[in-house]
Amino acid sequence: MKRKDFLKKGTLAALGSATLVQACQSDNKQNDAPNIISNKKYKWKMVTTWPPNFPVVGEIANYLAQWVEEMSGGRMKIEVYGGGELVPALESFDAVSIGAAEMGCGASYYWVGKTAASQFFTCIPFGMNAQQIAAWLISGGGMELWKEVYAPFDLIPFAGGNTGVQMGGWFNKRIDTVNDLKGLKMRIPGMGGKVLTKAGGAAVLVAGGEIYTSLERGVIDATEWIGPYHDYKMGFYKIAKYYYTPGWHETGSQLEFFANKTLFEKLPKDLQVIIETATMRAQAWVLAEFDAKNGVYLKKIQDEKQVEILTFPKQVLDALRQYTQQTIDEVINQSPESKKVYEHFKKFKKSIDPWSSLTEKVYYNELI
């Protein structure tokens, strides 16, 4: 071999070794070149607030794990744990925040004890519907605010689906006037519970598995849950006569995934994009599944002759709307962060409502 050929070959080998070392170093930090895909495998844990395999809201966690594994060619696997399997359901936020689990699934209003502003990203009474919330989060700047609220906890949120407008709940007496709410013991969480209290009722915290027996035994007089699909499965039609609409307290409840921010940002860029893309697929699937199943199970409830499906009177809804604003004012007066989020939320709602009224409202009122 000629000397110049030997030196040339040695130089190429050295460059190849340096490139390999550099690639390994980059993989240990963060892959800034998305066109370079390493063979390193990642295994994450996801903790959820939902019971294992719970219809729709629990199922979507399993689907997300499946989609991420498929899109990554097996390079990333996420093991899903239902509420209580790895950590208690309502400790998911903390578990992911400290890195005990890399990812979580739930609804942001569960974390109001951590930050009052979180509840605005799930729903507020008389708020926006699913279509409007998606527009706010994805195209209206809402997601940037959500990330800002979660950042101090080393978390990053992702949209995880929406329930759509929920039902107003199951009652053992008619609600003809706002006075009928006085003394009413109702299982209703979050801001809706505070609004009911202002109307003279009593918001009672009851675990999901205890709602049926509590309603049956008179521990509570009424309960909200989600909609026909889940409500029928819970058997509420057997023990409550009046099924009210609309769900003024949850007009489009946004669900979430969230990841430990530090660990997420250490992933190669392509895996970050895969997770983000999978969550957007989840956003579409959850609402579609709720609407499809609710249509089927509404018919089942309608066929139960003892059940009356009623609409809350306007006078009741008007009163609840006033109590809602009082409740919101109390929250934002105590939390500058909540005020910032709510003002952004309110401004977007004001800008989109005329378009929704001209199109969606007319469609529902005139075309179906």
Residues 151, 244, single domain; the answer is no
Structure tokens of 255? 């669900």
Residues 323, 280, single domain; the answer is no
Check the CA dihedral 180-184-188-192 and report its sign: positive
Residue pair 107/50 in contact (Cβ under 8 Å)? The answer is no
Residue pair 164/290 in contact (Cβ under 8 Å)? The answer is yes
The pLDDT tens digits for 252-300 are 999 999 999 999 999 999 999 999 999 999 999 999 999 999 999 999 9
Q: Is residue 136 part of a domain?
A: yes
Which CATH number covers residue 319?
3.40.190.10
Residues 156, 138, single domain; the answer is yes
The pLDDT tens digits for 297-339 are 999 999 999 999 999 999 999 999 999 999 999 999 999 999 9
Residues 182, 317, single domain; the answer is yes
Q: Which domain holds residue 202?
A: 166-249+306-334
Q: Is residue 171 part of a domain?
A: yes
Residues 123, 256, single domain; the answer is yes
Residues 147, 208, single domain; the answer is no
Q: Is residue 353 part of a domain?
A: no
Query: Residue 303: left if φ>0, alpha if ψ -120 to 50, beta else—which one?
Result: alpha
Residues 154, 264, single domain; the answer is yes
Residues 190, 84, single domain; the answer is no
Between the alpha carbon of residue 248 and those of residues 244, 291, 300, the distances in Å are 10, 18, 23
Residues 239, 325, single domain; the answer is yes
Which CATH number covers residue 136?
3.40.190.170
Q: Is residue 12 part of a domain?
A: no
User: How many structural domains are present in the chain?
Assistant: 2
How many Å apart are CA 92 and CA 86, to the nearest integer?
9
Q: Is residue 21 part of a domain?
A: no
- Confidence at residue 33, expressed as pLDDT on a 0 to 100 scale: 47
Residues 60, 71, single domain; the answer is yes
Residues 6+ apart with CB under 8 A from 133: 123, 127, 142, 162, 252, 254
The whole-number average pLDDT for the span 353-365 is: 96
